[in-house]
Amino acid sequence: MINIYRLLLLASFVVYTAESFALNNDKKLIVDFNSYNFSEPKTIHSYTGKFNGDLYRGDHAVSLNTASVGIQFNNLSFNILHRSDYIQSYTNDTATFYHQYKNRITSNNNYEYSLEMTTSQFEATGLKIDYWFQASPQFSFNIAGTYYSGSDFNNGRLSGSGQWQNSQQFTIDAPAVIYSAHNDLLAFPKADAKGNGYSIDVRAKWQINPQWQIDFSSNDAVSKIKWRDALLTNIDHWQLYRINSDGKLDTNPMVVWKKTNYEQKLPNTQIGYLSYTNTKNIEYYSKVISTEYFSHHQFGLKKPLSDNQSIFISWHRDLSAIEVGLNKPNSYLSLTADVFSRKIGRTLNIEFGLSRPF
């Protein structure tokens, strides 16, 4: 809690200082919420729950959530935000085996599973300072810096193989190394790491001509979060998986723990946007979101309405989902879901924004 109080004190100081230099500028209160959720091998409900139901081919799941409130002075803004990111990347074999483990499914085949998993989790409250530079009528550049007070994280990697020996036994040779703020495996030893650090985002817009525009962002282009008293978990050996008297698979990892300091680097997220506007003022666009864990593409169009409003619709190819949204002069809202997909329930994205002069 001490870090939160310091953050609020710093935010108050920065806002009052900035306001003293911006008495003659337009000021706005801005509120934003963004929740981006996708699970490839399971529905979101199943993935976060019992991992039951249908299993699809897939190698990642992601949940990126940010809520912020702030003040904007022309091209300068200050925001208090809360951020919660969770990304898992793995082989399809890993998802298949975990599905068998959770649902008590055994096998007699001798197939060797390639077990690979990487996890990146980050939760923090932050203060963000954001500024737009208008270099020319056609080109603008944005830079934003965020100071974070971290409350939770998990960076881990498992790598190896596994194989059914018979319907009762499964051998696994997949060492794992996990850095975390808390002990996610057992109640002891207890860990409650605290982290502080920063990230820098950059963005550029180029209006090539009246028809074509390029927009590129690099979020967390530079980042460093230092965690104190983090828990390092080493799993060097897994005992045999076997069926217990209840028909459930049983396992006991051989674990070694120690407390340590850890420096976390946040995954860099790159967003590319290319648009073309025709003579009827309808904008056609393509967008890609890419990280080291996944890459998602979408294609859409935006149609203007009266009173400076516009509607947009897009197809998220990798999510098999439709996005619909509405832009108004002081607000926007969009919803993305796979309601028309054969594999329904794997995507749910919500974006909302509001600005009001004061």
Q: The domain spanning residue 225 has which CATH number?
A: 2.40.160
For 255-266, give one letter per residue: b (16+ CB within 10 A) or e: eebeeeebebeb
pLDDT over 70 percentage in the chain: 89
pLDDT at 241 (0 to 100): 59
Per-residue pLDDT band for 239 (boundaries 50, 70, 90) equals low
Residue 6 has pLDDT above 90, yes or no: no
Q: Going by DSSP bridges, is the β-strand pair 212-238/269-277 parallel, antiparallel, or unpaired?
A: antiparallel
Mean of pLDDT values over 166-185: 86
Handedness of CA 47, 52, 54, 58 (dihedral sign): positive
* pLDDT at position 327: 96
Buried b (16+ CB within 10 A) or exposed e, 95-125: bbbbbbbeeeeeeeeeeebebbbbbbbbbbb
Confidence class for position 26, pLDDT limits 50, 70, 90: confident
d(CA 302, CA 315): 12
DSSP SS3 for 124: strand
pTM of the entire predicted model: 0.89
274: domain range? 2-357
Quickly state the pLDDT bin for 2 (edges 50, 70, 90): very low
State how far the alpha carbon of 196 is from the alpha carbons of 86, 131, 152, 228, in Å.
18, 23, 11, 9
The pLDDT, as a whole number, for residue 83 is 98
| CA separation for the pair 292, 315 (Å, rounded) | 22
Determine contact, residues 176/116, Cβ cutoff 8 Å: no
Q: Which of 167-181, 219-233, 338-352 has the lowest mean pLDDT?
A: 167-181
Q: What is the mean pLDDT of residues 183-189?
A: 75
Mean residue pLDDT across the chain: 90
Count of domains forming the chain: 1
Closest C-alpha to 120, from 153, 92, 165 = 153
- Quick one: pLDDT band at residue 244, thresholds 50, 70, 90? low
d(CA 191, CA 157): 19
Cβ neighbours of residue 280 closer than 8 Å, sequence gap 6 or more: none
Q: Under DSSP, is residue 19 helix (H, G, I), strand (E, B) or coil? A: helix
Per-residue pLDDT, 111 = 87
Q: How large is the average pLDDT for residues 147-161? A: 96
Q: What is the pLDDT of residue 15?
A: 47
With a cut of 70, say whether residue 79 has pLDDT above it: yes
Q: What is the mean pLDDT of residues 32-61?
A: 96
Residue 23 has pLDDT above 50, yes or no: no
pLDDT at residue 168, as a whole number:
75
Residue 47 three-state SS: helix
Q: Confidence class of residue 21 from pLDDT cuts 50, 70 and 90?
A: very low
CA angle 54, 296, 305 (to 5 degrees): 110
Work out the average pLDDT over 204-227: 98
CB atoms within 10 A of CB 302: 18
Q: With bands split at pLDDT 50, 70 and 90, how would you rate the model's confidence at 336? A: very high
Q: What is the per-residue pLDDT for 284?
A: 98
What type of residue sits at position 4?
I
Res 252: pLDDT: 67
Q: Above 50 in pLDDT, residue 163?
A: yes
Does residue 25 register a pLDDT over 70?
no
